[in-house]
Structure 1
């Protein structure tokens, strides 16, 4: 029974966090125009 109560409290806390972040909104910003290096450059 304690595990069920703990799971319900955790779920409620997670839901409250998601709703809070949704209410605040996504921070404004832009992505970098520079591409990310995904591989090591090959030296000749």
Structure 2
């Protein structure tokens, strides 16, 4: 019975965290205008 209570509590906390994060919305940061510079390895 304790395990069931612990699982229900964990599920409720996880759901509360998801709802809190979704209520806050996306962060107000900006992306860099420059693309990431990556190199492709030469063919062997």
**TM-score between the two structures when normalised by the length of structure 2:** 0.66
What SS does the aligned partner of 1:18 have? helix
- Structure 1 residue 7 displacement after superposition: 0.5
- Structure 1 residue 36 displacement after superposition: 4.3
Q: What is the alpha-carbon root mean square deviation over aligned residues?
A: 1.8
- Give the gaps of 5 or more residues in structure 2: 40-44
Structure 1 runs (4+) deviating above 6 angstroms are: none
Partner of 1:11: 11
Partner of 2:26: 26
**TM-score between the two structures when normalised by the length of structure 1:** 0.66
- Give the gaps of 5 or more residues in structure 1: 40-44
